[in-house]
Structure 1
Amino acid sequence: MRMMVIALIPALLASAPGSAQEFKAGEPLGTVNEAGIATPISSNVRVFGSFRFAESCTYDPDRNLIVAMNAGVTQDLQQNDGFVSLIRPDGSVHTSKWIGATRDGLVLNHPLGSAIAGGILYAADIDTVRRFDLATGKPLGATTVPGATYLNGIAVAQDGTVYATNTRPESRVYRIAPDGSVSVFVEGAPLANPNGIAIDPEGHVVVVNLGDNAVMTFHPDGRLIRTERSAESGNDGLVILKDGTRYVSSVRFGSVTRIRPGSAAEVIAVGIPSAASMCHDPVQNQLVIPMNPHNALAFLPLG
């Protein structure tokens, strides 16, 4: 019995809070060969997958990669299970777990929406907006949003103001100012379980609802300027191009709607299960659409 107690001491020390290691980003796919040498995966091999409830994506222009946000398992099963994958434009895996290779120095519980601005990756994580260095993946800090119950979509304005939707009651859009102060930007009707959010070329805040097919454009002071309608309701993803064209994905009905300035809404794709918070890859000119519980990404060329 005495020997067993002594044997347990190192294990207990290893799990103590003081033994936590510093954050380390994951490496691109590869192995360590028999000689003990780190070996990248062969260039003639492509791997697809690496998702666990992929909810959103963003495009990293510096590396020409898709940054996929994975919510992980539900919080009742395991907390702090979210991770970020790096995906090539052809859908193959670059790094399966870039952020989340280990949990050392990392808290990422159940991330949904994501955005990139000023070299920072932003993630909406339940009631917190987290920030990561886009080059290294290192956590940069977090802002807790009082009153938030389910932060979902996220967008960043040119001045650094962050806007985040709260999809579950109460229906709100929160604003985080560059100085870190948090306020309610819009709440109540016409919001109906707001989900996707983006900034248009004029700096307006555009929001789509899960509860209906409204595509609402708000002035930065919170005034509703215009309401358009997508082809179907149950909307999640929102992409706005430089010419003002809006693309809206319906997570409930699997369609993608295009709304060109001054034109009626038109459906350009259907049958995409759980079409969630998509992103635009401008180099390949394609929409990348996470299919959250299906653990997959759909690719829709726009050319």
Structure 2
Amino acid sequence: MKNFLTLIIVSMCFFACKSEKKEVDKTPEKENVEVILIPKLLHEVNGLTHCESVVYDKKRNVLYASLIGNREKGDGSIAKISLDGKIIDSIFISGLNDPKGIAITGDKLYVSDQLNLVEADLNTGKIIKTYTNDATLFLNDVEIGEHGAVYVSDTSKSSIFVLTPDGIFSEWLNSNDLEHPNGLLKVGNEMYVAAWGNVIGEGDDKKQSGNFLKVNMETKEIVKVSKDTLGNLDGVQIYDKDNFLISAWNTGKIMKINTNGDVENILTVGRSVGDILYIPEKKLLALPMNIQSQLLIYEFQEAGK
């Protein structure tokens, strides 16, 4: 009887294990599918006179775009735009001359305006203060640094200026190796620079270098990230932990570039694409188009490759 019971138990275990194995064998192996992102145009916002730069206000869930205007005194402005492409207020901040790069910290918006850096209140749209420095030539992009410091590229002078938390506006770095900086993006202890480019060559062979650079914030060492010249770079944004998105003003290209300098073309729009914006959590890409007086809003959609 004991041997009979043992035989039954062994048989039950055998069939149970076989059944379990069969169930496991039914599970298909997972395939490694590469996901690519395809930009789809969602909104085309018109009537933004010479739109140059765009920034996202996460607290209020709106966009702000700098409008250069027709270069008449005081006709520049900052427009407020919804994420679905509706103009909320085309002159939310008024009285500017030639606004370009914009950045937000807290309830304050900073915008470069020709030779000056302007500070405005996001609650009221009123200008709080204007910062000046006799050494500025052509202020361009704006980026927020540690403890509320505000960095501004000076494309003509090949410099970067800084407004320190104590209100002093001075030149932080001047170097030909900055290649006439345009877009700025601070990541950790490095400032990434989308450079307009130095003039190289002569006659018909003359061109502008336009590299993607990074600057060590402590040592101020400048390193070239891009392997080849990319020409007249304007905006730079974080794409993911290993990649950036950069725009080229003259060619209208939006490119993805990694920390090793490898470049992939993502999208080509018209000439004069300016200081771009990418919102990773929403997969939204906003492109200010200067000549066209437009703001193009794209959504990255996933597809298997």
Query: Is the pair's TM-score, using the shorter chain for normalization, greater than 0.5?
Result: yes
**Alpha carbons of 1:47 and 1:235: their partners in 2 closer, same or farther (altered >3 Å)?**
closer
Q: Unpaired segments of 5 or more residues in structure 1?
A: 1-45, 101-106
CA contact (8 A) 1:186 1:222 kept: no
Q: What amino acid sits opposite 1:120 in the alignment?
A: K
Q: Unpaired segments of 5 or more residues in structure 2?
A: 1-42, 198-208
CA contact (8 A) 1:231 1:266 kept: no
The residue aligned with 1:85 is 79
Q: What amino acid sits opposite 1:60 in the alignment?
A: D
2:170 to 158, 180, 183: 183
Q: For residues 160-216 of structure 1, what are the alpha-carbon distances to aligned partners after superposition, in whole Å with 9 as ceiling and x for unaligned?
A: 111111112x2111122111223322212212221111111x142111111223111
1:96 to 79, 90, 110: 90
**Alpha carbons of 1:87 and 1:283: their partners in 2 closer, same or farther (altered >3 Å)?**
farther
Report the structure, 1 or 2, having the larger strand content.
2
Supply the RMSD in Å over aligned alpha carbons: 2.1
The residue aligned with 1:68 is 65
CA contact (8 A) 1:158 1:203 kept: no
CA contact (8 A) 1:50 1:85 kept: no
State the alpha-carbon separation in 2 of the partners of residues 221 and 213 from structure 1. Answer: 24
- The worse-fitting range, judged by mean Cα deviation, of 211-220 and 109-118 is 211-220
State the alpha-carbon separation in 2 of the partners of residues 224 and 89 from structure 1. Answer: 38
State the alpha-carbon separation in 2 of the partners of residues 152 and 48 from structure 1. Answer: 23
Report the structure, 1 or 2, having the larger helix content.
2
The residue aligned with 2:184 is 197
- Is 2:51 the counterpart of 1:54? yes
State the alpha-carbon separation in 2 of the partners of residues 188 and 155 from structure 1. Answer: 19
State the alpha-carbon separation in 1 of the partners of residues 146 and 300 from structure 2. Answer: 26
The residue aligned with 1:214 is 211
1:163 to 140, 151, 154: 151
CA contact (8 A) 2:44 2:297 kept: no
Shift of 1:244: 4.8
Shift of 1:79: 0.7
How many residues are paired up? 247
TM-score normalised over the length of structure 1: 0.76
The residue aligned with 2:111 is 123
State the alpha-carbon separation in 2 of the partners of residues 257 and 222 from structure 1. Answer: 29
CA contact (8 A) 2:278 2:284 kept: yes
Which structure's CA Rg is the greater one?
2
State the alpha-carbon separation in 1 of the partners of residues 245 and 83 from structure 2. Answer: 19
CA contact (8 A) 2:239 2:280 kept: no
Q: Which runs of 4+ in 1 moved over 6 A?
A: none
- The worse-fitting range, judged by mean Cα deviation, of 240-249 and 144-153 is 240-249
- Say which SS state the counterpart of residue 63 (structure 1) adopts: coil
2:160 to 170, 173, 184: 173
State the alpha-carbon separation in 1 of the partners of residues 237 and 57 from structure 2. Answer: 15
The residue aligned with 2:267 is 269
CA contact (8 A) 2:161 2:170 kept: yes
State the alpha-carbon separation in 2 of the partners of residues 173 and 265 from structure 1. Answer: 25
Shift of 1:284: 2.6
CA contact (8 A) 1:198 1:205 kept: yes
Shift of 1:239: 0.9
The residue aligned with 1:20 is none
Shift of 1:65: 1.1
Shift of 1:123: 0.2
State the alpha-carbon separation in 2 of the partners of residues 171 and 263 from structure 1. Answer: 22
1:234 to 225, 232, 235: 232
- Is 2:149 the counterpart of 1:149? no
**Alpha carbons of 1:179 and 1:244: their partners in 2 closer, same or farther (altered >3 Å)?**
farther
Shift of 1:260: 2.9
> Equivalent pairs: percent with the same residue?
26
